[in-house]
Structure 1
Amino acid sequence: MAGLYLEEFEVGHVFNHSLRKTITESDNMLFSVMTLNTQPLHIDFDFAAKTEWGKPLVNSLFTLGLMIGISVNDTTIGTTIANLGMTDVTFPAPLFHGDTVRVETTVLSTRPSQSKPDRGVVVFEHRAYNQNGVLVAKCTRQAMMKSRSAA
């Protein structure tokens, strides 16, 4: 697998993920409908046109999932045991249909498990930007990762 093991993560390392995604109307609609999020700001063009944004906003939970998903290939594919949590989630600027998202990830900390020597915890900070370099999402994520000894 391409994912890194606990010992391979270096505190302070920044991953500039090459995978990018342009958000389509279908992405936003499908995610909103699949999660039963009927917020008209996401799915009703007439309603959204009358807001300060003038058009539908991309569902923030889709943005969060996309941001973390983009990071997986470079960091955790096949070496994650579990996500332990996401904290400090913010959406400082809106994301719209047609925007292209790019992501950076910084390794904030690593520590071996006290009870299980085959794993440990890595804390990441993920940041998503639109095509203009505007920060649209940010979160801290804790992941339980396999140790080399588990390979």
Structure 2
Amino acid sequence: MQRTIRTRGESVVQGKFLEELSVGQTAELVRVVGEADIEAFAEVTGDNNPVHLDADYAAKTAFGERIAHGMLSAGYISAVLGTTLPGPGAIYLSQALRFKRPVKIGDSVTARATVTEIDAAKARVTLATVCLVNGKPVVDGEAVVMVPRKAA
């Protein structure tokens, strides 16, 4: 039994209870990073590093062009956890991240989460997390979330 939640935009999001999860379950989403995404992220966070926003500056860096904020890519992991696996009601407890490669404007990012451990006593779930561009990891890590139980 999944929980159905309506979001602000009235889309329906399905969530899973702790008892519905199993090791190996995987979910993912795909997003193309646009210039507007990078600018909006900078506006919201205040991270105005010119490597993200200034093409002339970025051209002189090791990247040779503007790149997305690492946490923008990591945010796609949060979207997977909050909307799909486990979904609404899951509460982030921790997230370890390793930034492997830059993400550029126009890159298609696949964010994936896979259940690796379930601690039923504490209602905690550990997930391997990764963001991929062209099949190569750009961000990887591990998340721990608290997941709602079914009502008795």
Output the TM-score relative to the length of structure 2: 0.84
Aligned equivalent of 1:15: 26
Q: 4+ runs of 1 displaced by more than 6 Å?
A: none
Aligned equivalent of 2:130: 127
* Aligned-residue RMSD, C-alpha: 1.6
**Higher relative contact order, chain-length normalized (CA < 8 Å, sep 6+):** 1
For residues 60 and 106 of structure 2, the distance between their equivalents in structure 1, rounded to whole angstroms, comes to 20
Residue 83 of structure 1 pairs with residue 86 of structure 2: no
Aligned equivalent of 2:110: 102
Letter in 1 for 2:140: K
Q: Deviations over 1:42-63 (max 9, x none)?
A: 1111110111211011001111
Q: Deviations over 1:10-47 (max 9, x none)?
A: 12x14142x31100011011101221112111111111
Q: Which runs of 5+ in 1 are unaligned?
A: 115-119
Aligned equivalent of 2:17: 5
Aligned equivalent of 1:67: 77
For residues 34 and 72 of structure 1, the distance between their equivalents in structure 2, rounded to whole angstroms, comes to 19
Instruction: Verify the 8 A CA contact 2:80 2:87 in the aligned structure 1.
Output: no
Instruction: Verify the 8 A CA contact 1:14 1:104 in the aligned structure 2.
Output: no
Equivalent residue of 1:70, what SS?
Answer: helix
Q: How many residues align?
A: 140
For residues 85 and 50 of structure 1, the distance between their equivalents in structure 2, rounded to whole angstroms, comes to 35
Equivalent residue of 1:101, what SS?
Answer: strand
For residues 35 and 141 of structure 1, the distance between their equivalents in structure 2, rounded to whole angstroms, comes to 22
For residues 96 and 67 of structure 1, the distance between their equivalents in structure 2, rounded to whole angstroms, comes to 17
Aligned equivalent of 1:147: 149
Aligned equivalent of 2:140: 138
Aligned equivalent of 1:58: 68
Identity %: 24
Residue 27 of structure 1 pairs with residue 29 of structure 2: no
For residues 77 and 14 of structure 1, the distance between their equivalents in structure 2, rounded to whole angstroms, comes to 13
Letter in 2 for 1:112: A
